[in-house]
Structure 1
Amino acid sequence: MIYEIALLPVHKEQIETFRQAFAEVAHLLTRAKGYLGHMLAQGIETPERFNLIVRWASLEDHTPGFEASDDHQAFMQGLEAYFSAEPQVYHIEGTAFA
């Protein structure tokens, strides 16, 4: 199992509308091949920084899989206006949380 961790910096004044926008595009993520679940978590010390953690069956399901899809393009188009900087994405390998 692979975890994608995306650090999403959001304009402070757009935090609530970002949450709404994410809810509107989340279905594009959830229907992707190899998708196993996700969590969108807002930072406590830095509330304008969100962490999107997505469980994938394999790295290939995320990249090139979802990232190369039309759904990914639409997903990002629905969110990109809220970003204050370029999101950072990395992957880790692990098992499900206990």
Structure 2
Amino acid sequence: MLIEVAILNIKEGKNADFERDFQEAGKYIAATAGYIKHSLKRCVEIENQYILLVEWESIEAHEIGFRQSPQYNEWKALLHHYYEPFPQVLHYI
């Protein structure tokens, strides 16, 4: 198992829109082979910051299975315009 970790900084004033669209985007990541589960947590100290944790069976499930899929394009269209700056995504075992 592998955990994908991303710190998401959201453009000011967009938290509610981001959270709404994230709920919709969840179905796209969850439909990917090798996906286990994900969670999104809002930071207490920094109003526009979230942490995204995604459990995958392997790095390939994320990097190839998800990122090269049509589901990723839907995820990207829903969420990527909220990030400022674009997040670094790291993997942990």
TM over 0.5, shorter chain: yes
Paired amino acid for 2:30? T
Q: What secondary structure sits across from 1:27 in the alignment? A: helix
TM-score by length of structure 1 reads 0.90
The match for 1:55 is: 55
Give aligned pairs, total: 93
Aligned equivalents of 1:60 and 1:6: distance in 2? 17
Paired amino acid for 2:92? I
Paired amino acid for 1:9? N
Where in structure 1 are there 5+ consecutive unaligned residues? 94-98
Paired amino acid for 1:11? K
The match for 1:96 is: none
The match for 1:77 is: 77
TM-score by length of structure 2 reads 0.94
Aligned equivalents of 1:46 and 1:9: distance in 2? 9
Q: What secondary structure sits across from 1:12 in the alignment? A: coil
Aligned equivalents of 1:80 and 1:58: distance in 2? 23
The match for 1:36 is: 36
The structure 1 segments of at least 4 consecutive aligned residues displaced by more than 4 Å after TM superposition are: none
Paired amino acid for 1:81? H
User: What RMSD over aligned residues (CA atoms) do the two structures have, in Å?
Assistant: 0.9
Q: What secondary structure sits across from 2:51 in the alignment? A: strand
